[in-house]
Amino acid sequence: MVNKDKIDFYDDDKKSYEEFWVGREYEHQSELIAIKRLLKGRHFELAMDYGGGYGRVTPTLLEFADKVVLVDPSRKQLDIGREKLKGMNVEFVRQTKKDNVPAEDSSLDLLVMIRVSHHLPEPNKVFSEIARVLKPGGVGIIEIASEAHFVNRLRYLKKLQTVPKDPVPIGKRANGLVDDTPFVNHNPNTISSLLDELGLNTKDKLSVSNLRNQILKKHLSLQTMLAVERSIQGPLSSIDFGPSVFFLVEKT
């Protein structure tokens, strides 16, 4: 049974978020490509890697920020991060309340939230927090797990249905977690509207991990897949082609 209030999913010793990324170098690098493209030419004083686990993307954020606050509800992940990011200008903060961003009002120049939305059946609550903690003119990168990716749209079309506007549960097992962990996909159009209502205006959008397919991984080199990924993230964003959509937003 799903526990909607549980947030420290990755503290369980039987679950390893590091192991989840074994064999997913394409997805990892695709996300770094997206971050670097969206932040190109920008520099920030203070950034937050919200729900960042052990800091998988934190070193990339440090290319664009003087300091990064790594926030996660898992003590285990933060402890791993302290080892992996030793010597870097990173502050580690444990999130203790659901849907909370542990920061003062208007205190952050940049907030990045990746691989978190699939745990958010009510994303507007966290989006409100993001709007609260960003400075006026502050920037956010918000990744969503998309229900409207190309393969899913074909499935809905076959049933003569449209992609639901509300979050869609995707089953009891994902990321190595079972039963007590909420997992949902989102409609990018709904997300865009929610962000806009909160004064988080979309400045750019990318379609990410567009070639996430076991057959392609088997027959194409990683270098080839990433070269293609670089060339299509922008063009395919207009149709939300991939399973992951990155929004670049700015607080007005």
Whether the model pTM is above 0.85: yes
pLDDT tens for 9-59 read: 777 777 778 888 988 999 999 999 999 999 999 999 999 999 999 999 999
The count of other CB atoms within 10 Å of the CB of residue 49 is 27
| Span 207-227, pLDDT tens digits | 999 999 999 999 999 999 999
Q: What are phi and psi of 141, to 5 degrees?
A: -110, 115
CA dist 52 → 72, 113, 219 (Å)? 6, 7, 31
What whole-number percentage of the chain has pLDDT above 70? Answer: 94
Q: Three-state SS for 37?
A: helix
User: What pLDDT does 180 receive?
Assistant: 63
pLDDT of residue 171: 64
* pLDDT confidence band for 177 (50 / 70 / 90): very low
pLDDT of residue 17: 82
25, two tokens: 């170098």
Select the more confidently predicted residue: 169 or 61: 61
Q: What is the pLDDT of residue 3?
A: 53
Under 8 Å between Cβ of 31 and 60: no
Contact (Cβ atoms closer than 8 angstroms) between residue 142 and residue 113: yes
Distance CA 48, CA 218 (A): 35
Q: What is the pLDDT of residues 108-163, one digit of tens each?
A: 999 999 999 999 999 999 999 999 999 999 999 999 999 999 999 999 999 999 99
Give, in order, the Cα–Cα distances in Å from 209 to each of 10, 35, 92, 139, 217: 23, 13, 28, 22, 12
Domain 9-251 = CATH 3.40.50.150: yes
Structure tokens at 251: 């607080």
State the average pLDDT for the chain: 93
Name the residue among 202, 203, 219 with its Cα closest to residue 211.
219
Is 195 a residue whose pLDDT tops 90?
yes
